[in-house]
Amino acid sequence: MANNTFTGSLPAYIGNLSTVLETFIADNNRITGSIPGTFANLTNLMTLSLSGNQLNGTIPTPIAAMSNLQELNLANNSLSGTIPAEISGLTSLAKLHLDSNRLVGPIPSSISNLSQIQIMTLSRNSLSSTIPTSLWRQRKLIELDLSQNSFSGSLPEDVGKLTAITEMDLSSNQLSGDIPTSFGALQMMINLNLSRNLLEGSIPDSLGKLLSIEELDFSSNALSGAIPKSLANLTYLANLNLSFNKLDGQIPEGGVFSNITLESLMGNSALCGLPREGISPCQNNSHSRSKQLLLKVILPAVVTLFVLSACVYMLVRRKLNKQGKMSLPSNTDLTNYQLISYHELVRATSNFSDDNLLGAGGFGKVFKGQLDDESVIAIKVLNMQDEVASKSFDTECRALRMARHRNLVRIISTCSNLDFKALVLEYMPNGSLDDWLHSSERRHISFLQRLGIMLDVAMAMEYLHHRHFEVVLHFDLKPSNILLDMDMTAHVADFGISKLLVGDDNSIVLTSMPGTVGYMAPEFGSSGKASRFSDVYSFGIVLLEVFTRKKPTDPMFAGELSLRQWVNQAFQYELSSVTDRGLLEDVPKHGMDKISNPSEDSSAILNACLASIIELGLVCSRTAPDERLPMDDVVVKLNKIKANY
């Protein structure tokens, strides 16, 4: 019911809906009035989302009885009152969105009972008091946004216990005291915003241990002392804002400080060492006059010499590039990659012999190679005759460099010159999912293996859509782009036509880059418009393919009949007629020991799980984008199916 123009209030008899209902979403309408407490009657509800309406009143306490609820989204309404302590009864809750309301008072200390919480957004309210210490013990918490409230008090060292946290925004509050050194223990942190508070003391040197950090904002506080040199060593730190504090001393060199602007440092009158941005150079008082004189005489000469040296360097580098030396693209950080020359790749692949060819398609060929240290790699060589090959190379470099997840193929190095471009990737010994499904050998792949692979893929896509600091759209998800390592763990590959999406959850992009027929979402193929839900469609088709072992481009799907239509027709009557018969081999292996009731039939459990999977595939591949599930919900459902098997 989301994204319509429904008006009026929610009736109390809404609690009389079927108790098997798992999802109730009515976001972005014009619904008014209060939230009925009778929602608590829907005991199997897993998602309750009413964001973007005109709801008022308080958060009803009866919802504490909804022990299966995993997501509660009441954001962007006009709810008032306090956060009820009874909310601690939502023991399965993973996502809590109460931002942009009129809530007051403290966060209840009973929040510690939400042991499964992963995302909590309470921003843009009038919440006050101190942040409860129990919140810092939520070890599964990934995102925390308490910005634009009136929280006070200091941050404890316990903040370092949030070891899974990737994003934390505590900006625009009244927090005081020092920045805890334990922040340095948060190795997964990508975005940390403590701006517009009353923090004082020095910036901890331990922040140099935040190896994944990309954005750091400490602006508009009362921080003093020098800027830690360790911040210059943070490879991925792209945005640093320290403006309007009381910092002093020399500005560090290198890293993020190489391109830092005056706006990021302004309001710190005692800083020195950045003449290019109008900040005075640092001086020794006893020699200040002589240094000023030397700078006036020598600096122009040094600049001239530097320019000449740079020109010579570029000429030499261009010559080396023509000989096949390593050249990383501008958006790739050299310190994170193994340096491999063109000549090493030639040796590793026996001069790109067809004996080492793993596959071809897209924008080039993929070879298996063995380096001098006996490590095995995959080399994706782009077809330079293809006009879009260079663009594909830069796109894939950016996507793979900025995205770090266990279910994404890892980039080891790149090699690029005027005539040759290649990506050096980790080698996947079990090939692609397409090989396992459709090779002439008809290799057996069990139900649990298929489910595990698709859960891996779902988690990778959830990361790209919802966890990455920029939304990455893959655009070409299909079995041949899903690679399997030694343990049959799936890794999503081939980001050659991926795009970065900027904006909110409903943003779309226009693109002329082609996907693959059979897997492209209808809106992508017809108008070039795509969103996160375009990837969800592709995932749904792949999910159906994996459990039917039928390609969407199979000759049987001619004319009006498609893979989805074929499965949907059977889903209503006889699902076994479309599912892969090889799955029946798993019934004895499932074993009665895994069934709580020994009298229960293993095949019934398998069939029930298959029905849930096929239904999920059909939902994900619906024609209308807004009727498909987001990838984070897909992960939740697949985990539930796996737990039930």
Which structure tokens are listed for 456?
A: 């891996």
Q: Is residue 282 part of a domain?
A: no
- Give the model's confidence band at 329: pLDDT under 50 very low, under 70 low, under 90 confident, else very high: very low
Residue 518: exposed, middle, or buried by beta-carbon count in 10 A (0-12, 13-18, 19+)?
Answer: middle
Q: Are residues 408 and 459 located together in one domain of the fold?
A: no
Q: Is residue 350 part of a domain?
A: yes
Question: Which are the contacts of 565, defined by CB distance < 8 A and separation ≥ 6?
Answer: none
Residue numbers belonging to the annotated binding site: 380
Q: What local confidence, expressed as pLDDT, does residue 382 receive? A: 78
Q: Which ranges of 349-465 does DSSP label H, i.e. alpha helix?
A: 389-402, 433-438, 447-462
Residue 465: which CATH number? 1.10.510.10
Q: Is residue 263 part of a domain?
A: no
201 lies in which domain range? Answer: 7-234
The mean-pLDDT minimum among 35-39, 201-205, 371-375, 480-484 falls in 371-375
Does position 515 have pLDDT exceeding 70, yes or no?
A: no
Residue numbers belonging to the annotated binding site for ATP: 380
**Average pLDDT, integer, range 631-635:** 94
Among 187, 191, 216, 188, CA closest to 203: 216
Q: What local confidence, expressed as pLDDT, does residue 482 receive? A: 94
Strand-by-strand arrangement of the 80-81 sheet: 80-81, 102-105, 126-130, 150-154, 174-177, 198-201, 222-225, 246-250, 270-272
Does position 590 have pLDDT exceeding 80, yes or no?
A: no
Pairing of β 167-169 and β 191-193 = parallel
Q: Are residues 118 and 44 located together in one domain of the fold?
A: yes
Q: Is residue 556 part of a domain?
A: yes
**Average pLDDT, integer, range 507-534:** 70
Does position 328 have pLDDT exceeding 50, yes or no?
A: no
> Regarding predicted confidence, which is higher, 253 or 216?
216
Which structure tokens are listed for 523?
A: 């809106």
Residues in the chain: 645
- Give the model's confidence band at 398: pLDDT under 50 very low, under 70 low, under 90 confident, else very high: low
Q: What local confidence, expressed as pLDDT, does residue 583 receive? A: 85
Q: How many domains would you assign to the chain? A: 3
Q: Is residue 276 part of a domain?
A: no
Residue 58: which CATH number? 3.80.10.10
Q: Are residues 448 and 594 located together in one domain of the fold?
A: yes
Q: Is residue 222 part of a domain?
A: yes
pLDDT tens digits, one per residue of 101-154: 999 999 999 888 898 999 999 999 999 999 999 999 898 898 999 999 999 999
Rounded to 5°, angle at Cα 644 from 643 and 645: 95
Q: Are residues 144 and 79 located together in one domain of the fold?
A: yes
Q: What local confidence, expressed as pLDDT, does residue 417 receive? A: 64
Q: Are residues 24 and 142 located together in one domain of the fold?
A: yes
Which structure tokens are listed for 563?
A: 């893979």
pLDDT tens digits, one per residue of 179-205: 999 999 998 888 999 999 999 999 999
Last residue of a domain, one of 211, 234, 257: 234
Does position 302 have pLDDT exceeding 60, yes or no?
A: no
Residue 72: exposed, middle, or buried by beta-carbon count in 10 A (0-12, 13-18, 19+)?
Answer: buried
Is 253:228 a contact under the CB 8 Å cutoff?
no
**Average pLDDT, integer, range 169-182:** 95
Q: What local confidence, expressed as pLDDT, does residue 3 receive? A: 73
Pairing of β 7-9 and β 30-33 = parallel
**Average pLDDT, integer, range 609-628:** 94
> Regarding predicted confidence, which is higher, 324 or 606?
606
Does position 303 have pLDDT exceeding 70, yes or no?
A: no
Rounded to 5°, angle at Cα 214 from 117 and 129: 45
Q: What local confidence, expressed as pLDDT, does residue 598 receive? A: 42
Q: Are residues 51 and 143 located together in one domain of the fold?
A: yes
DSSP 324: T
**Average pLDDT, integer, range 6-10:** 85
Q: Are residues 553 and 438 located together in one domain of the fold?
A: yes
User: What is the C-alpha to C-alpha distance for residues 135 and 109, in angstroms, rounded to an integer?
Assistant: 8
- Which residue has 């969103």 as its token pair? 531
Does position 316 have pLDDT exceeding 50, yes or no?
A: no
User: What is the C-alpha to C-alpha distance for residues 344 and 369, in angstroms, rounded to an integer?
Assistant: 10
Instruction: Find the distance separating the first CA and the last CA of the chain, reported in whole Å.
Output: 31
Q: Are residues 445 and 577 located together in one domain of the fold?
A: yes
DSSP assignment string, 121-133: E--SSEEEEEPPG
Does position 68 have pLDDT exceeding 80, yes or no?
A: yes
The mean-pLDDT minimum among 24-33, 244-253, 510-519 falls in 510-519
Determine whether 476 is an active site residue: yes
Residue 580 backbone zone (phi > 0: left; psi -120 to 50: alpha; other: beta): beta
Is 446:436 a contact under the CB 8 Å cutoff?
no
Does position 592 have pLDDT exceeding 50, yes or no?
A: no
Among 25, 68, 75, CA closest to 54: 75
Q: Is residue 326 part of a domain?
A: no
Question: Which are the contacts of 154, defined by CB distance < 8 A and separation ≥ 6?
Answer: 175, 176, 177, 178
Which structure tokens are listed for 482?
A: 């899903």
Buried/exposed 15-41: b ≥16 CB within 10 Å, e otherwise = beeeeeebebbbbbbebeeebbebbbb
Q: Are residues 347 and 475 located together in one domain of the fold?
A: no
Q: What local confidence, expressed as pLDDT, does residue 385 receive? A: 65
Is 211:190 a contact under the CB 8 Å cutoff?
no
Helical axes 532-548 vs 602-620, angle rounded to 10°: 150
> Regarding predicted confidence, which is higher, 471 or 433?
433
Q: What local confidence, expressed as pLDDT, does residue 419 receive? A: 67
Q: Are residues 107 and 132 located together in one domain of the fold?
A: yes
**For residue 191, which phi and psi values (nearest 5 degrees)?**
-135, 120
Q: What local confidence, expressed as pLDDT, does residue 394 receive? A: 59
Residue 353: which CATH number? 3.30.200.20
Q: What local confidence, expressed as pLDDT, does residue 26 receive? A: 87
Last residue of a domain, one of 426, 459, 476: 426
Does position 327 have pLDDT exceeding 50, yes or no?
A: no
Number of helices (H) and strands (E), helices first, in the chain?
Answer: 11, 33
Question: Which are the contacts of 57, defined by CB distance < 8 A and separation ≥ 6?
Answer: 33, 34, 35, 79, 80, 81
Active site residue: 434, 456, 476, 632, which one? 476
Share of the chain above pLDDT 90, in %: 41
Does position 396 have pLDDT exceeding 50, yes or no?
A: yes
User: What is the C-alpha to C-alpha distance for residues 203 and 201, in angstroms, rounded to an integer?
Assistant: 7
Q: Cα–Cα distances in Å, from 505 out to 123, 418, 471, 532, 630?
A: 17, 39, 9, 8, 10
Which structure tokens are listed for 433?
A: 């999912």
Q: Are residues 442 and 409 located together in one domain of the fold?
A: no
- Which residue has 């939520």 as its token pair? 138
> Regarding predicted confidence, which is higher, 30 or 616?
616
Q: Is residue 243 part of a domain?
A: no
- Give the model's confidence band at 469: pLDDT under 50 very low, under 70 low, under 90 confident, else very high: low
Mean pLDDT computed over every residue of the chain: 81
Last residue of a domain, one of 426, 455, 481: 426
Tell me the three-class secondary structure of 37-104, residue by residue.
HHHHHCCCCCEEECCCCEECCCCCHHHHHCCCCCEEECCCCCCEECCCHHHHHCCCCCEEECCCCEEE
Number of Cβ within 10 Å of residue 477's Cβ equals 25
**Average pLDDT, integer, range 574-588:** 80
Q: Are residues 437 and 476 located together in one domain of the fold?
A: yes
